[in-house]
Amino acid sequence: MAGARAFIAATKQQWKVALPLAGLPACALAVLLEESIAAHVGTGAALAVMAAATGLGVLGLALPCVSVRCPRCQCKLLRRAVHREAASEWLLWLVRLDRCPECQFAPAAPGLAPSDG
């Protein structure tokens, strides 16, 4: 077995998952501290902060679903994982992935890109 994270790491797509997910706690914090923010900057500004935090949260969930792809066949791997795997299994399925479930492309080593497309 090529090992956990093999496909995502070998195709250099870890950041597409990690960066948006890293922003989610900041968005959640903004939502949780809404009253405190409103007390300091006013209700209108607090609503703007809430809207921005909500938008960033939605983007943080949606962008990885459309951007984590097989470099050969463009299969949306995270989207496929969320749609087809059990709620408790999709992340494990994704990090254990060592080849594309659609075209069977298997990156040989981290950093290697497919030569045929």
If you search the block for the tokens 């500004």, which residue do you land on? Answer: 45
Q: For Zn ion, which is the closer residue by CB, 37 or 94?
A: 94
DSSP-derived secondary structure for 37-74: HHHHH-HHHHHHHHHHHHHHHHHHHHHHHHH-B-TTT-
Stretch that binds Zn ion, among 35-43, 47-55, 76-84, 105-113 (CB under 5 A): 105-113
**Angstrom distance (rounded) from CA 2 to CA 24:** 30
Q: For Zn ion, which is the closer residue by CB, 35 or 116?
A: 116
Q: How far is the CB of 103 from Zn ion (least distance, A)?
A: 3
102 binds Zn ion (CB under 5 A): yes
Residues numbered 57 to 76 that lie near Zn ion (CB under 5 A) are: 70, 72-73, 75
Q: How far is the CB of 89 from Zn ion (least distance, A)?
A: 20
Q: Any idea of the CA torsion for 70, 7, 86, 83, to the nearest 10 degrees?
A: -10
